[in-house]
Amino acid sequence: MQQLLGPHDPPAFSVHNAGGGAPLLLLCDHASNAVPQALGTLGISEQELSRHIGWDIGGLDAAIELSKVLDAPLVASGYSRLVIDCNRWPGGEGSTPDVSDGTPIPANRGLTEEQVQVRAEACFWPYHREVDRHLDRMTAGGRKVGMLVMHSFTPQMNGFKRPWHVGVLWNDDARLPEPLLAELRRDGTLVVGDNEPYSARASYEYTLSAHARSRALPHCSLEIRQDLIRTADEARAWARRLAPAIDAALALALG
């Protein structure tokens, strides 16, 4: 199979605070807007790549700060969601979109199954194999562990201004999301979405299903609105604001 990444391309994932002692694995599926050199700019401008369609703006900065504050290891993806989305089933809905929020992505038009597989081998599977490696280590000996995936969302979509500051996304395991929702709502100034602005019950969602549901780990995703975390300082501040709620919810989830 053709190799996509060259010697000057960044790695497919990064790990932060690998030795963190908390019983929690943090993930960031859309941490970067990098594109392999072999794919150019996917046929779109750098400005478009810098929009929310290319990555989760502020997500990595918030996740790194949470990793420090909670002392939890973090695994982050290395490439743009437009190359291949690390939270979609490879080749499935939204995996390599040829249009994203109204922007055509020329390099994604008419991709063959083999071309999708090449992208997956380079940018998708290494990230998810690293997630499994950390979970194998962290759960060794029957240790109880939770998993939290950090995302961010655009303040407006399809003309609708989203009112939520943060959102908790989950499917059918309430152990972590229900206490997290309750802890976040203790702050009366926060507008908290329950499976808003997206739902983890969508069939295309990959990460929670592949790693946490399959291992019966308490889990959910946490979304932060992007206009609140536009700068690294803002993202770090919001991480510190949300950390106590996550810590308290995790303690309840793990019993």
Q: Are 224 and 191 in contact (CB under 8 A)?
A: no
Residue 40 domain-assigned?
A: no
Residue 145 domain-assigned?
A: yes
Domain count, the chain: 1
Q: Which tokens hold the place of 76?
A: 């982050």
pLDDT tens-digit profile of 230-255? Answer: 999 999 999 999 999 999 999 999 99
Q: By C-alpha distance, which of 69, 67, 34, 53 is closest to 149?
A: 67
pLDDT tens-digit profile of 13-54? Answer: 999 999 999 999 999 999 999 999 999 999 999 999 999 999
pLDDT class of 158 with cuts at 50, 70, 90: confident
Q: Is 155 exposed, middle or buried (0-12, 13-18, 19+ CB in 10 A)?
A: middle
pLDDT of residue 204: 86
Q: Which tokens hold the place of 64?
A: 């790194």
Residue 156 domain-assigned?
A: yes
pLDDT of residue 161: 96
Report how far residue 191's alpha carbon sits from residue 31's, in angstroms, rounded to the nearest whole number: 24
Q: Is 167 exposed, middle or buried (0-12, 13-18, 19+ CB in 10 A)?
A: buried
- What is Dmax (Cα atoms) for the chain? 54
Residue 174 domain-assigned?
A: yes
Written in H, E and C, the secondary structure of the chain is: CCCCCCCCCCCCEEEECCCCCCCEEEEECCCCCCCCHHHCCCCCCHHHHCCCCCCCCCHHHHHHHHHHHHCCCEEEECCCCCCCCCCECCCCCCCCCCEECCEECHHHCCCCHHHHHHHHHHHHHHHHHHHHHHHHHHCHHHCCCEEEEEEEECCEECCEECCCCEEEECCCCCCCHHHHHHHHCCCCCCCEEECCCCCCCCCCECHHHHHHHCCCCCEEEEEEEHHHCCCHHHHHHHHHHHHHHHHHHHHHHHC
Q: Are 34 and 10 in contact (CB under 8 A)?
A: yes
pLDDT of residue 159: 86
Residue 87 domain-assigned?
A: no
CATH number of the domain bearing residue 250: 3.40.630.40
Q: Which tokens hold the place of 12?
A: 């497919």
pLDDT tens-digit profile of 190-243? Answer: 999 999 999 999 888 999 999 999 999 999 999 999 999 999 999 999 999 999
Return the number of other C-beta atoms located less than 10 Å from residue 8's C-beta: 7
pLDDT class of 2 with cuts at 50, 70, 90: confident
Residue 189 domain-assigned?
A: yes
Question: Does 139 score more than 70 pLDDT?
Answer: yes
Residue 234 domain-assigned?
A: yes
pLDDT tens-digit profile of 82-129? Answer: 999 999 999 999 999 999 999 999 999 999 999 999 999 999 999 999
pLDDT of residue 203: 82
Residue 183 domain-assigned?
A: yes
Q: Which tokens hold the place of 142?
A: 């029957």
CA dihedral (226, 229, 231, 237) in degrees, to 10, reads -170
Mean pLDDT of the residues in the chain: 97
Question: Does 77 score more than 80 pLDDT?
Answer: yes
Which domain covers residue 64, as residue numbers?
13-33+54-77+122-254
Q: Are 246 and 190 in contact (CB under 8 A)?
A: no
pLDDT of residue 1: 64
